[in-house]
């Protein structure tokens, strides 16, 4: 899933990006309100992890402006917002959630909890079950484990993330651009065939019968 980390403390941002990337997410980082505005208006993010105090403004205000439509977020889906802040008072939590944040986590935090909260936000729209399943395919993002008819699939992080995205959007035709947008981060070169290669590797590992179909000229779909 595509995540944006808005955090002005470079050492913290680097750790979050690294940790969440290892969990299979495509993670970008922004260090100021201005950077974050630019990012959300040009990429469709699934989750935005937002610091409260940034050098040029407040994360809560950014969140409120996103929710009110003052900042137009890219794509049809509003990103989920997780406030990650040192402010721990009840008033601050209430203000953060009322500004439109979906979750609130206080620094210093346990990294495992941040990961779990991100997973919880991601499944909010897709039924709520922590484990995704479809026709013998079972995917457990928390355990980073995917099986087909009980057989464990040896997937790479990227293949796992791709399969997760397919399963969350089952039955929908997903274009190369959309896959690139949600599964790869901003470092990915949009002109390479990385999506095609990864889909093909994933298909091989999933085995027969094929579940990911190619829709000519439009993209791929998980039946």
Partner 1 sequence: MTSALVFSVAGLALAGFYFVTLRTVQSLTVTGSRLQAVLIDGEVGLRLTQVEMRTIESLFKEFVLNQLAVWTIGILLVLFGLSLLVGWVVASRSLRPIDEITSVARDIQATDLDRRIGLEGPDDELTRLANTFDAMLDRLSGSFRSQQRFLAHTSHDLRTPLAVIRSNLEVISNDPDATVEDWRQTGEVVERAADRISVMVDDLLAVARQELAGATLTSIDPAEIVTELVSDLGPAARADGVVIEADLPDEPVTVMADPDMLRRAIGNLVDNAVRESQEGGSVSVALRREGEWTYLGVLDRGPGIDVDLALNGDHGDGGMGLGIVRQIVAMHAGRLSAVVRPEGGSVLSIAVPDRSDPSASPRDGERLLELYRWSGIHHAGLPTHDTR
**Which residues does residue 161 pair with via DSSP β-bridges, in sequence order?**
none
Closest to 32 measured CA to CA, from 66, 3, 6: 6
Mark 29-68 with x for binding to partner 1 (rule: CB under 8 A) and - for no binding.
---x-x----------------xxxxxxxx----------
Q: Judged by CB, which is closer to partner 1: 112, or 142?
A: 112
Please identify, among the stretches 5-13, 125-133, 183-191, 202-210, the one whose residues bind partner 1 according to the rule CB under 8 A. Answer: 5-13
**Residue count at the site for partner 1 (CB under 8 A)?**
32
**Which residues does residue 212 pair with via DSSP β-bridges, in sequence order?**
222
User: Which of helix, strand or coil describes residue 160?
Assistant: helix
Site residues (CB under 8 A) for partner 1, limited to 68-107 = 85-88, 92, 106-107
Q: CB of residue 151 vs partner 1: minimum separation in angstroms?
A: 23
Query: String of b and e for 187-205 (b: at least 16 CB within 10 Å)?
Result: eeeeeeebbeebbeebbee
CA–CA gap between residue 90 and residue 96 (Å, rounded): 10
The residue from 69, 90, 108, 171 that contacts partner 1 (CB under 8 A) is: 108
CA dist 165 to 23, 27, 69, 168, 206, Å?
14, 15, 26, 5, 15
Q: CB of residue 16 vs partner 1: minimum separation in angstroms?
A: 6
Residues that bind partner 1 (CB under 8 A): 8-9, 11-12, 14-16, 18-19, 22, 32, 34, 51-58, 85-88, 92, 106-112
């Amino acid at each position: 899933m595509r995540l944006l980390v808005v955090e002005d403390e470079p050492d913290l941002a680097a750790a979050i990006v690294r940790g969440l990337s290892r969990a299979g997410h495509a993670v970008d980082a922004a260090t100021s309100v201005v950077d974050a505005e630019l990012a959300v208006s040009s990429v469709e993010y699934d989750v935005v992890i937002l610091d409260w105090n940034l050098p040029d403004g407040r994360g809560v205000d950014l969140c409120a402006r996103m929710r009110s439509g003052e900042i137009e977020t890219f794509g049809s889906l509003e990103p989920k917002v997780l406030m990650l802040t040192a402010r721990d008072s009840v008033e601050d939590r209430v203000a953060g959630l009322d500004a439109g944040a979906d979750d609130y986590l206080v620094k210093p935090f346990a990294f495992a909890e941040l990961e779990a909260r991100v997973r919880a936000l991601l499944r909010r729209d897709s039924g709520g079950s922590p484990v995704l399943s479809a026709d013998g395919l079972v995917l457990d993002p928390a355990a980073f484990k995917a099986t087909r008819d009980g057989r464990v699939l040896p997937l790479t992080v990227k293949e796992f993330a791709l399969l997760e995205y397919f399963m969350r959007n089952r039955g929908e035709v997903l274009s190369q651009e959309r896959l690139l947008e949600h599964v790869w981060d901003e470092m990915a070169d949009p002109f390479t065939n990385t999506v095609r290669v990864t889909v093909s590797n994933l298909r091989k590992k999933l085995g027969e019968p094929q579940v990911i179909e190619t829709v000519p000229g439009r993209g791929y779909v998980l039946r």
